[in-house]
Structure 1
Amino acid sequence: MNLKQLEYFVAIAEEGQITAAARRLHISQPPLSYELAQLERELGTQLVRRGPRGVTLTEAGRLLHERAARILAMATATAREVSSVGKGLTGTLCLAVCDSAAGLAPGTRLAELSRLAPEVSIEMLDGSVPKVLELVASGLAEVGVVRTPFSSQGLRCRYAPAEPLVAVMPQELERGDELEVRLTELADVPLACSRRVAAQLAQTPFCLTEDDRATCACSAAGLGVGLVPRSLLSTCDTGACFIKVVAEKDLESRAAVIWKADRALSPLAERAVALLGELA
């Protein structure tokens, strides 16, 4: 089993047809069918079921598709990292950023990379905090940006200053004084927040989101008072909502730049970490 066979199999699995997979790979159908048969013979199991309208994956095929996609992504990331180490400040930096840190990273200072090293490019990946941790742990992203709370085991971290939550208030749900509001003052209004924030609240939110930017959208639509990190506001349209700091120290969070503790950073990643700084 080699990388070419895995690439061919992933194309078949994702296209659902050998003919369509061959077009995607820019090869003819016979060699693709041959490689699939060779792979099934080598593994000693059927990977696809052939039908008049295409192919469907067997249970073994679904497992191989999942693993093969990861192996191919890891091979790409490894080639990129080795190239970066060998050439210095060239190549591609893979940076994973959690949704709730979108207002802090990549940041304007990271744009200096384009001036310092014109041959450098950045591949941005985003997702939840657990997803970013997984991308960094697997090596698919060399550097990540996450937000507390998270497990820092096996990681090196550079933390930003503590940051308060803000309440994004539709006009009809305004509470608190001119600049601040306490949670007790929000007890009688529907709340909108991410699962990460909800885990720290005694009150069950009316609108639960996976992404803090979606929380702002809920508030702008009048569904509830949204609770999001203050820095996120630079990336969101909150319409006519009032914005007030949530005066609760226990709800403050910190963003952090992370990378694996047991791997030396490439010169490109080292420069990126220095430019990201403390995410100020």
Structure 2
Amino acid sequence: MNLKQLGYFVAIAEEGQITAAARRLHISQPPLSYELAQLERELDTQLVRRGPRGVALTDAGRLLYERATRILAMANATAREVSSLGKGLTGTLCLAVAHSATGLAPGQRLAELAARHADVSLELREGGVPEVIELVASGIAEVGVVRTPFPTQGLRCRYAPAEPLVAVMPPDLERGRELEVGLAELDDVPLVCDRRLAPQLPATPFCLTDDERTTCSCAAAGLGVGLVPQSLLAVCDTGPCFIKALVERDLWSRAAVIWKADRSLSPLAERAVALLGELA
């Protein structure tokens, strides 16, 4: 089993047809069918079920697809890093950003890379905090931007200042004072928040999301009062909603730039970390 075979198999899995995968790979169908058969023989298991309209992955095929996409991503990341170490500030930086930190990164902070270095490009990956940490830990992304709380083992971190949690209030659900509101004052309204925040609240929210930007969208639609980090408002349309800071400082959080503690950063990643700074 080699990287070429894995790339072929990923194309078949994503296209759902050997003919379509062959077109995507710019090869003819017979060699692709041969490589798939060779892979199944080598692994001694059936990876796809062939039908009149295409192919469907078996359980073994789904497992191989999941692993193959990660292996290929790691191989590409390794090639980028090795090339970057040899050439300086050139190549592609893979940056992973948590949904809750998109108000702080990448934005204009990395614009200097494009402005000053024509041979630099950016590959941006997004996900929840656990997904971003996994991308950094696996080496797929050299640098990540996450939000507390998160496990720091094996990571180096550069923290931003603490920022308030804010309530995004539809006009008919406005509570509290002019600029602030306490959780006790929100007892009688439906709350919308990210799943990671929910355990810190005294009561179960009405709606849980996987992305704080969705939380803002729900609040703007009048579904409930959304609770999000203040910096996220820079990238969200909150419509006619009122914005008030929560008085509970124990719910404040900090964004952080992270990278692997046991791995040397490429010159490009080092420059990106310097530009991101403390995300202030």
Q: After the TM superposition, list the runs of 4 or more consecutive aligned residues in structure 1 that deviate by more than 4 angstroms.
A: none
Q: Cα deviations across residues 189-219 of structure 1 (Å, max 9, x unaligned)?
A: 1111111221210121112111111111111
Give me the whole-angstrom Cα distance separating, in 1, the residues matched to 2:161 and 2:70.
35
CA shift, 1:90, in A, is 0.3
Give me the whole-angstrom Cα distance separating, in 1, the residues matched to 2:224 and 2:58.
45
Structure 1's unaligned 5+ residue stretches are none
Give me the whole-angstrom Cα distance separating, in 2, the residues matched to 1:138 and 1:231.
28
Match of 2:128 in 1: 128
Amino acid at match of 2:138: S
Match of 2:69 in 1: 69
CA shift, 1:110, in A, is 1.5
1:166 matches 2:166: yes
SS at match of 1:199: helix
Give me the whole-angstrom Cα distance separating, in 2, the residues matched to 1:16 and 1:112.
41
1:258 matches 2:254: no
Amino acid at match of 1:213: R
Match of 1:244 in 2: 244
Give me the whole-angstrom Cα distance separating, in 2, the residues matched to 1:172 and 1:25.
55
CA shift, 1:278, in A, is 0.4
Query: Would you say how many aligned residue pairs link Structure 1 and Structure 2?
Result: 280
Give me the whole-angstrom Cα distance separating, in 2, the residues matched to 1:168 and 1:59.
43
Cα pair 1:107 1:279 within 8 Å, conserved: no
Amino acid at match of 1:141: A
Amino acid at match of 1:134: E
Match of 1:49 in 2: 49
Amino acid at match of 1:162: A
Amino acid at match of 1:204: T
Match of 1:221 in 2: 221
**Percent of counterpart pairs with the same letter?**
80
Q: Cα deviations across residues 53-103 of structure 1 (Å, max 9, x unaligned)?
A: 222222222222221111111111111111111110000000000011111
Match of 1:178 in 2: 178
Match of 1:101 in 2: 101
Amino acid at match of 1:87: K
CA shift, 1:107, in A, is 3.4
Match of 2:152 in 1: 152
